[in-house]
Amino acid sequence: MFDPYEVRRDFPILSLMVNGKKLVYLDNAATSQRPVQVIEAIRNFYLKYNANIHRGMHALSQEASRLYEEAHDTVAGFIGAESTEETVFVRNTTEAISLVAYAWGLRNLEKGDEVVVTIMEHHSNLLPWFKVAELTGARVKVVDINDSGFLNYEALGEAITEKTKLIAVSHVSNVTGVVNDVGRIVRAARSVGAKVLLDGAQSVPHMPVNVRELSVDFLAFSGHKMLGPTGIGVLYASKDALEEMSSFIVGGGSVKAVHYDASTGKLRVEWLKSPWRFEAGTPNIAGGVGLAEAIRYLERLGLNNIWSHERMLVQYFFKRIKEEGLSGEINVAGPSSAERRGGIVSFTLGKMDPHATALLLGEDGIAVRSGFLCAQPLLERLGFSRGAVRASFYLYNTREEVDMLVNAVKRLTMRQFRGE
C-alpha cells in the first residue's frame, strides 16, 4: 500500500528545520525533491562509470554509453513509446517544446498556416509558437477558458480549421491543476490532419501517461519535476513526426560521417538515427542515469497511487478551508473544488500581495511559489492581476502538512483583519 510517511524516509531534506519550524515543502510544481536512491545513482555514476559516451572503446566509455542508452529505454517504457528512437533527451520541457518549434515548425509551417494554443499555457508553450510564427508567417490562435478555469472546447472547435497544422496544449495546468481532455483535443486535431503537442510537465510526474493511448505526436516533460535531477528532460516524438523534423542543434555526436569535397566546398553529412541526431555534443549523462532511477522509483510506488494521493490532499485542503470558515477569504484560481484538477491550488488571500503571503508562509517553514507562475495571461484572464500563491502537492506530502498550511493561512487572515 502507498504510505507517504514511509516514502518520506527516502527524502532527508524533508527533515530540515526552517526558521525553527519543520519544513513543509509545497513547491513541487516548480521542482520536486530527490530521494536518496536517485542521489546515490548519480553519485555512483561519477564514482564508477564517468566517461563520455559513444566516443571511446575503453571500459568506462562503454559502460557509460550502456547506462545512458538504457535510460532512454526506461523512459520509452515509462510513457509507452514504441521505441527508444522516439525519446530525445533535452534539458527540460522548455527546450523540448522549442526543439519542436524549430526542428518541426520551421520546416512545416508557412504563411497562412495556423497553430492553436490555449490561454492556460505556460509561457514555454506560448513564446516558441509566437516566435516561429514571426519567422514563418504562420498565425497563432489562442483559445479561451470559461470563468471556472476549464478549457472552452466549443471555442477550440471553432478555432480549428483546415489551416491548422498543430495544436499545442498543456495536459495539466500549472496554475489551476485543471486536467484537459486530451482525447477530445486529439480527435479535433485529426479531423483536419493536424498534429498535437502535449505539455506534460505537470502530468507525467503525477499520473499514468501513455503516448500511444493518448495518440499525441509530441510530449514534453522535465526530470526535475519527477524526482530526477535538473538539466534533463524528454521530448517524445512519434516516428511519423520524426520524419518531418530536421536536425536543429548539430555537431559531434549527431553524425555518422562527414565528408568535405574541396572541389565544390560542400559537406556531405550522414546523420545518426534518432534520438542521437537530436542530441549533439556531450549530453547530461549523469542526468539521464538519475532520471531513469527516478522513473523506477515512481513505478515502484505506482502512478495511480500517487495521483490518488495528491487529489486526496487537494480535496482535504478544500474541506479544511471550509471548516475553518476561510472560503470567503481565499480566492482560488480555477475550479473551487477538487474535482477535475490535480494536486495544485493557486490562490490569493484577501488584499494581501501574493509575494508577501508567500514570504510570511515561508517564515512558518512553508515553501510555496508566488507571482505569475510563468502563466501570466492565464492569471490575468482569471482576474489575478498581481499573480497568486501556489501550493502544489506530491507523493511525500501529508494531511498534517495541509493542516499546517491552512492554520498558517488562518493566522494570516487574522493578522490582515487586525490591520497588522
342 vs 360: CA distance, rounded Å: 25
Calpha distance 11→194 (Å, rounded): 43
In the predicted structure, residue 287 carries a pLDDT above the cut 80: yes
Strand partners, 284: none
Query: What is the β-pairing status of strands 24-25 and 366-367?
Result: parallel
Of the candidates 345, 403, 419, which has an alpha carbon nearest to the alpha carbon of residue 177?
345
**Residue 185: pLDDT above 80?**
yes
Specify whether 374 is catalytic.
Answer: yes
Q: Quote the DSSP letter at residue 104.
A: I
The DSSP element (H or E) to which 261 belongs, if any, is strand 255-261
**Of the listed 178, 374, 389, 395, which one is catalytic?**
374
Report how far residue 402's alpha carbon sits from residue 321's, in angstroms, rounded to the nearest whole number. 10
Using CB atoms within 10 Å of the CB of residue 193, give its burial: 0 to 12 exposed, 13 to 18 middle, 19+ buried.
exposed
At 386 the pLDDT is 97
pLDDT tens digits, residue range 53-76?
998 999 999 999 999 999 999 999
3-state secondary structure of 63: helix
Backbone region of residue 387 per phi and psi (left: phi > 0; alpha: psi in -120 to 50; beta: other values): left
Residue 198's H or E segment, with its range, is strand 195-199
* Closest of 353, 316, 318 to residue 336, by C-alpha: 318
Average pLDDT over residues 228-254: 96
Handedness of CA 319, 325, 331, 335 (dihedral sign): positive
DSSP string, 354-399: HHHHHHHHHHTTEE-EEE-TT-HHHHHHTT-TT-EEEEE--TT--H
- Structural domains of the chain, ranges and CATH numbers in brackets: 4-30+302-417 (3.90.1150.10), 38-299 (3.40.640.10)
Q: Average pLDDT of 43-54?
A: 97
Asked if pLDDT for residue 278 goes beyond 70, the answer is yes
Q: What is the mean pLDDT of residues 134-160?
A: 97
In this predicted model, what pLDDT tens digit does every residue of 310-327 receive, in sequence order?
Answer: 999 999 999 999 999 999
Q: Where are the alpha helices (H) located in 114-205, listed in sequence order?
A: 127-136, 153-159, 182-190
Q: Are 74 and 292 in contact (CB under 8 A)?
A: yes
pLDDT tens digits along 397-411: 999 999 999 999 999
Cα distance between residue 37 and residue 354, in whole Å: 35
The predicted structure's pLDDT at residue 336: 82
Which pLDDT value is given to residue 340? Answer: 83
Of 1-5, 188-192, 222-226, give the lowest mean pLDDT range: 1-5
User: Residue 162 has what pLDDT?
Assistant: 98
| Residue 337 confidence (pLDDT) | 81
Which range (66-75, 176-185, 334-343) has the least confidence? Answer: 334-343
